[in-house]
Amino acid sequence: MPGIEFVSSTASKLPFDDASFSRVVSRLTFHEVKDVRDKAIGLTEAIRVLKSGGRFAFVDLFDDPDTYHGRELVIEAIAKAGGELESARCLSQIAPLKWPMDTGKALKYAVVVAGTKRSADYVRRRSLRRDVARCGRQLRGGGAVQVSC
Average pLDDT, the chain: 85
The band of 47, judged by pLDDT with boundaries at 50, 70 and 90, is very high
Amino acid letter at 26? S
State mean pLDDT over 33-41: 93
Look at residue 93 and tell me if it is in a domain.
yes
Looking at the structure, tell me whether residues 26 and 95 fall in a common domain.
yes
Domain tally for the chain?
A: 2
What are the phi and psi torsion angles at 122 (to 5°)? -60, -45
Tell whether 128 and 102 lie within a shared domain. no
Q: At residue 134, does pLDDT exceed 80?
A: no
Where does the pLDDT of residue 129 fall: very low under 50, low under 70, confident under 90, or very high at 90 and above? low
Whether the pLDDT of residue 32 is over 70: the answer is yes
27 and 54 together in one domain = yes
Q: Evaluate the omega torsion of the peptide bond into residue 65 and state whether it is cis, within 30 degrees of 0.
A: no
Q: Are residues 73 and 140 in the same domain?
A: no
Cβ 132 vs Cβ 139: under 8 Å: yes
Checking 70-77 for CB contacts under 8 A at 24+ apart, the result is 71/111, 73/40, 74/40, 74/43, 74/111, 74/113, 75/113, 77/40, 77/43, 77/44
Assess whether 132 and 105 both reside in one domain. no
Structure confidence at residue 93 (pLDDT): 93
5 in any annotated domain: no
Within 10 angstroms of residue 148's Cβ, the number of other Cβ atoms is 5
70 and 134 share a domain?
no
pLDDT, residue 64, reads 93
Same domain, yes or no: 61 and 131: no
Residues 93 and 143 occupy one common structural domain: no
My answer on whether 28 and 45 are in the same domain is yes
Range of the domain at 93: 21-118
62 and 125 together in one domain? no
Residue 9 lies in a domain: no
pLDDT: is 18 or 142 the higher one? 18
As a whole number of angstroms, the distance between CA 92 and CA 99 comes to: 12
Element (H, E) at 120: helix 120-134
Residues 39 and 98 in one domain: yes
- Among the listed residues 34, 44, 58, the one whose alpha carbon sits nearest the alpha carbon of residue 14: 44
pTM over 0.85: no
Average pLDDT over residues 37-63: 95
Residue 148 pLDDT greater than 80, yes or no: no
Helix (H/G/I), strand (E/B), else coil: 54:
strand
65-79, 84-98, 109-123, 127-141, range with the lowest pLDDT: 127-141
